[in-house]
Amino acid sequence: MISKARFGRTGHMSTRTLFGAAAFSNVTQAEADRTLDLLLEHDINHIDTAASYGDAELRIGPWMDRYRDRFFLATKTGERTYARAREQIYRSLERLRVSQVDLIQLHYLVDPREWEIAMGAGGALEACIEAREQGLVRFIGVTGHDISIAEMHLKSLEHFDFDSVLLPYSYIMMQNPRYAGSFERVLAACAERDVAVQTIKSITRRPWQPAHAHTSATWYEPMTEQADIDLAVHWVLGRPGVFLNTTGDTTLLPKVLDAASRFAERPSDETMQAQVERLSMSPLFT
pLDDT for 211: 67
Q: Domain spans of the chain?
A: 4-278
pLDDT for 214: 72
Distance separating alpha carbons of residues 168 and 201, to the nearest angstrom: 6
pLDDT for 212: 67
CATH class of 4-278: alpha beta
Give every CB contact of residue 111 below 8 A, 6+ residues apart in sequence: none
Predicted TM-score (pTM) of this structure: 0.97
pLDDT for 195: 98
pLDDT for 210: 76
Distance separating alpha carbons of residues 152 and 148, to the nearest angstrom: 6
* Tens-place pLDDT, residues 233-259: 999 999 999 999 999 999 999 999 999
pLDDT for 220: 84
Q: Supply the mean pLDDT for the chain.
A: 96
pLDDT for 218: 80
Report residue 106 CA to chain centroid gap: 12
Positions of the chain with pLDDT lower than 50, given as ranges: none
Is residue 263 within 8 Å of 234, Cβ to Cβ?
yes
What is the CB neighbour count within 10 angstroms for residue 183?
23
